[in-house]
Structure 1
Amino acid sequence: MTPDSPLVDIVLASPNHNERRVPGGPDMLLIHYTGMGTGDDAVRWLCDPVSAVSCHYLVHEDGRIVQMVPEARRAWHAGVGNWRGQDDINSRSIGIEIVNLGHAAGYPDFPEAQVRAVAQLCADCAARWAIPPERLLGHSDVAPGRKADPGEKFPWDQLFRAGLGHYVEAAPIAGGRFFGLGDRGDPVAAYQGLLAAYGYGVPIDGTFGETTRQATIAFQRHFRRACVDGVADASTVETLHRLLMQLPQSPLRRPGAVAQATADRVHVSA
């Protein structure tokens, strides 16, 4: 296998891949952590036919980049997920695994060399496939409740300063009305509408159930990392609103947009 990126240090081909099932190639970058003891453990697992999992790239703690599946092929890294109403995330994405023990085993910080390598790799892939900044996502974004990676320690803001991804400074955590598990009503439906407008797979049913709570946690892990509690407080809602306003084709700026109406309802109720 010939590496797709000049940044690749070594190719260790995995047999676990197949044809992409959507036309046009990948339009999403998906960041994971390995959640295993060592990078070598992860490589062995991702190359094992028995595991039925793989990724396109793996980035070690020291910044070494391994390619395991050609970018043109469908690696098996995302599992069941959804983003902006689209499923089969594997067919739409390039999967990048970052060596890290994960939440279940102490969740260490991501080393600077590793973060730099991830940023460079993301920039290279995004340029090659014309991937929009807002489609640089974490595994937990597309699979809330099922996955927590890369988690709240991953420095999305640092990548954004390097020109990667979609990000805003989180609104300060303060008081004010908030929504939590079990709340019901139009303001909850309005908040769900904002989450769905950004891309999260939530029902807009006016009930703050477990699916909405898990989507809120996923949103906070990515965009409001100072407090990940699954509660839609004023900081969470305002940060989400800022993100929507800064999308290149923001649903909040369309005349008569439903998303703008739901945003107004949330802010009036807060």
Structure 2
Amino acid sequence: MLPDPPALPIAFDPLPYQERLDAREAAAIDLVVIHCTELPDLTMARRFGEEELYEGSRTGNSGHYYIDRDGSVHQYVAIDRVAHHVRGYNARAIGVELVNRGRYPDWLAASHQAMDEPYRAAQVESLVALVQVLHAQLPSLRFIAGHEDLDTTEVAATDDPDMKVRRKRDPGPRFPWDEVLARIPLQRIP
């Protein structure tokens, strides 16, 4: 039997368009998807999340939770709403964004594909605690994946259109999968 999940302070600051996102039942959620913001800081990630990119719904791209470098957890979308964070899986998934520069600002340049910033211990601790809390709240939650596991699309590189690069590489090679998987009750999607 797993121990009770730890208390985890979560700052809830919903995106302005949250109520326009599709509603869903908790039983439909079986997957956590780990992302990195690929932006310099949480402030910029929030600004990007607030952008309305989809004309019909007047919503944008966002995750449910954001974990800053200091380990603080911010919730921008309620879990009973479908956030736009990974193609083809949104209706069943909770998106967790870790603040990390990733490939910023040249995301799709072939010459800039390294993702060198390590994840901070405080982020990993908060991520593990968050997953434990979510698992306790959602009996249907069984799986975890990285964005890179689910979106393997390649596109022409912005600095060399003859080369292809992965559209999504997050959370990237510095994410401590072994450590996280050893401490949570979810299976990684192969």
TM band (smaller chain): 0.7 to 0.9
Asked whether the equivalents of residues 25 and 72 of structure 1 are also in contact (C-alpha less than 8 Å), the reply is no
Letter of the aligned partner of 1:47 in structure 2?
A: E
Q: After TM superposition, give the deviation of residue 9 of structure 1 in Å.
A: 3.3
Structure-2 residue corresponding to 1:101: 101
Q: Give the structure with the higher percent helix.
A: 1
Structure 1 outlier segments of 4+, above 6 Å: none
Q: After TM superposition, give the deviation of residue 103 of structure 1 in Å.
A: 3.3
Letter of the aligned partner of 1:122 in structure 2?
A: V
Secondary structure of 1:24's aligned partner:
helix
Cα 1:148–1:113, aligned 2, differ >3 Å: closer, same or farther? same
Secondary structure of 1:74's aligned partner:
coil
Q: After TM superposition, give the deviation of residue 128 of structure 1 in Å.
A: 1.4
Quote the Cα distance in structure 1 between the aligned partners of 2:37 and 2:89.
18
Q: Unaligned 5+ residue runs, structure 1?
A: 81-87, 168-197, 200-270
Matches within 5 A, 1:149-188: 149-166=170-187
Letter of the aligned partner of 2:179 in structure 1?
A: Q
Quote the Cα distance in structure 2 between the aligned partners of 1:163 and 1:22.
23
What RMSD in Å do the two structures reach over aligned CA positions?
2.4
Q: After TM superposition, give the deviation of residue 24 of structure 1 in Å.
A: 2.8
Which one scores higher on RCO, CA 8 angstroms, separation ≥ 6?
2
1:57 is aligned to 2:65: yes
Higher Cα Rg, which structure: 1
Asked whether the equivalents of residues 148 and 171 of structure 2 are also in contact (C-alpha less than 8 Å), the reply is yes
TM-score (norm 1): 0.52
Identity %: 28
TM-score (norm 2): 0.72
String of CA shifts for 1:66-122, please: whole Å, max 9, x gaps.
Answer: 0111101101111x2xxxxxxx31100000000000035653000000110011101
Quote the Cα distance in structure 2 between the aligned partners of 1:112 and 1:23.
30
Structure-1 residue corresponding to 2:43: 40
Quote the Cα distance in structure 2 between the aligned partners of 1:46 and 1:161.
31
Q: Give the structure with the higher percent strand.
A: 2
Letter of the aligned partner of 2:124 in structure 1?
A: V
Secondary structure of 1:125's aligned partner:
helix
